[in-house]
Chain A
């Protein structure tokens, strides 16, 4: 019999939906060379809540110094109508003086924080109306993100200012925050339980007015700190929004755990959005200068194809 591939599918029996706070699109850009790969942590050296939070955040958003992926987004609305978008994403991390290896070492040491600023570049390939549309995000931790948008059909380049992070990401069921990462300091975290497979974290916003949820629970794989499920609950205690990683893989070059396919389902809105990742690559040396307004109008094909 052939060796089982390292491509993982989450079992269906897991709590219906489960989710990760962020991840989705950019989660795929991360990855981690995890030395202690599949060995579950022994009870004796079980990580603290703080360590779980930081490691998860690292795995979700901060691995590698940069990355790229091709993403196919399928939005299904409550009437069952579907629309697809195809985009290429580039990520660049403010290096916080440390190189990739140092970051990995910090991760393994367990007490480091990963909260640096990041930049994202998105190029839309399809639908045809969106072809050549580009989008730039400078993620900030202590203030609203900066975003720029270029619409070739109208020849308009706009800076999008003061925008809420908890709003729809390009019309999908994902929020910008799901995609670019929620500040770990915005929530209080508690470890609800530890199963054979998961750490289950409950996160409650410190400022209740800042988010539409009352709290959310994350199911984090003990083996590699990848968030497998996140469920959001409203003020009535009703679960209304679920993120599920349908499939993940290990990056061939660096061994990072990467999400290949993830679904966000919103019961209030109806329908869901599925993201599928291809051509995921890390540490491609994408220059910071590319994440500027001038490249919105001048497509950097070199990093996109």
Chain B
């Protein structure tokens, strides 16, 4: 009821805004029909529909937006059964529509400009990272991993109820985020098609090894996040520093004895993050750098005594380049180095992750046809995934997409855990 009231009020606000002078209201609804086919084993994977109606009102004095997402999948393999969505706080939780679908509020915010500044209040996404498919500073919103990282981040990022302040003063920009919403990552449940089976996601248990029954411990509202980013342009370089204190969206595990036996409790700790970012363009090249340092992040250790935790420092550094190449090719290269400092051998995850991504795009027929190829490689373990995608503009508002995703590597690896999850996906998207 609370959610309905909130949504209703913003819709009413938006509709009223239509009547005021110097305002514009837009209503759009992209609808996507998708068919997924699992290459190994050969079988149908997805027959789904997704609709995202969005109402947006923009005037001189405010901007308001509401959007919801309705998803339904006949085959129900990506999200089998009725997930309990226990990672969501109540006002953010999606509605479960039988076993086949869900309905959720994506955005519901009002933005109030004042002087050169603006404040935005409501359910929203706050995006500070600028990398492509890699997260270093894009850490203010949790994410759903229903399709691992194959879903566009804009779609998989979970909006949270928050207050956002964006202040401009001369060349300086200061952004503040206050996020009391303690929704965390939505991880696929057992038997989901993209269930995370690598030991690092199962507290050290190998693929197929039994894991005790799991039980989630919800964080409290006081575990919410506060963050600040200060940025400016200097000598053609966009520079920014970030500081954040808030909830770690990745769950930790601990074993506890209940009446029914041993239970694996999933819980979340707070973390502090400091980051820097830089972006600049030199002719046909754009360079990006993002780095984060988390001095006391909590990690799981798998010791002889069971599952333990330890506070360790973590660095994540990513460098990226966009290249406007010959023959109309656009090329994006990214390298991520993620290291847990002074990591003991018992650390559940790898102490060092090194990920390289290569992305190539070319448009044909005056941008009517888009061809993309993307490759992620975990360099430590010869583990990775590749994606090829075609998108064709059938008409002004209709696009046809075809993609192929291929994983390879060890079943214990970041990507290799989906070694038998290669898929082909065909989709038609029409914007009403």
A binds B: no
